Amino acid sequence: MQFTSLHKALDIIDLLLKRREYQSLDDISRALDMPRSSTYKYLAALRERGFLDLEAKTKRYRLGLKFMELGWLVTSQLHIDQVALPYMKELAQITKETVILSCLSSGAAYCLERVGPESGLVFSMQRGAHLPLYAGASAKVLLAQLPEAEIDVILQRAKLDPLAPNTITDAQILRDNLRKIRAQGWAFSDQEADWGARAVAAPVTSEKMGVVAGLCVVGPAQRMEGERLEEAKKLVIESARHISRELE
C-alpha cells in the first residue's frame, strides 16, 4: 500500500515535470486516471511538504520550492566550491577583501566557501553559515534569479526583520530591487546584513541548471566605494563568468 501511494505521488510529480505549467485538480485526476478524492489527498500531502505550490486565484498546482532546493543541493555535490576556489583566492588577493560563494538551501543563502584577504578585516559568513534570502548581496543575487511565483512564496513566508541599518524590510521595495538585480546581472548591498559592510555579488550559472551559486566580494563601507567599488563589481562579474564556463 505504501509503495502504491509513493508511486502515485511520483506520477503526479512526473506529470507536472512534463507539462511545465500549472495544473488543476481535475487536470491531474483525468491525466492519471485517479479518483478525484484520492488525487486531492496526494496533492495536499505534497503541498504540505513543499513539493507543490497552489496558485490561490486559479486553484492550480505546480512544482514547489522544495525542488528548487533539491536542485541547489545537487549543485553543491558537483563540487562547485572546488571549481570556484582558485578564482576566489585570486579575487581576494586583488581586491584585498573577503570573497564568499553562496548557494540556496532550505530557503536561505548558505556559505559554501569563503576566502579572506591575507591581512586586514575579514567580513561576513563562515562556511556553513547562512543568511535569509532578503538581506545582503550574496543572498539577494540568488533570490533575484528565481521565478516571480517562487519569490512571492518566499516573501509571503519571510519575516523581513532588520539585521543591520539598511536591511530592506518593505516587500515591494525588495521586489523592485530584485527585478533590478535580475536585469543588470549583479547585486549590491550597503549594510543590509552586516553593520559597516558593503558588498557586490554576481550569479554563477550552469547551462543545465541555471543559477547555481552567488559569488560575492564584501568589505568595509569606507573602502568599498567609488572606483574601488566599481573595480570590485567588474572583477566579481568577470570571475563569476569564468566559473560558469568551467561548469558547462
User: 125 with 176, same domain?
Assistant: yes
pTM, 2 dp: 0.70
User: 135 with 42, same domain?
Assistant: no
d(CA 49, CA 232): 40
User: 137 with 231, same domain?
Assistant: yes
Query: Can you give the pLDDT at residue 68?
Result: 60
Query: Can you give the pLDDT at residue 118?
Result: 66
CATH of the domain at 86: 3.30.450.40
User: 89 with 161, same domain?
Assistant: yes
Domain that holds residue 124: 70-247
Query: Can you give the pLDDT at residue 73?
Result: 58
User: 101 with 24, same domain?
Assistant: no
Q: Which of 10, 41, 63 is a domain's end point?
A: 63
Q: Which of 47, 63, 79 is a domain's end point?
A: 63
Contact 184, 70 (CB under 8 A): no
User: 224 with 133, same domain?
Assistant: yes
User: 224 with 140, same domain?
Assistant: yes
Query: Can you give the pLDDT at residue 215?
Result: 96
User: 44 with 113, same domain?
Assistant: no
C-alpha cell at 174: 525588495
User: 181 with 228, same domain?
Assistant: yes
Q: Which of 33, 63, 93 is a domain's end point?
A: 63
CATH of the domain at 37: 1.10.10.10
* pLDDT averaged over 10-residue windows placed end to end, the chain, 248 residues: 71 78 86 89 85 80 70 60 91 94 83 78 66 93 89 86 95 96 96 93 83 92 93 97 88
User: Which residue do the cell numbers 546581472 mark?
Assistant: 185
Contact 126, 114 (CB under 8 A): yes
Query: Can you give the pLDDT at residue 1?
Result: 42
User: 98 with 54, same domain?
Assistant: no
Count how many domains the chain has. 2
User: 58 with 80, same domain?
Assistant: no
User: 8 with 74, same domain?
Assistant: no
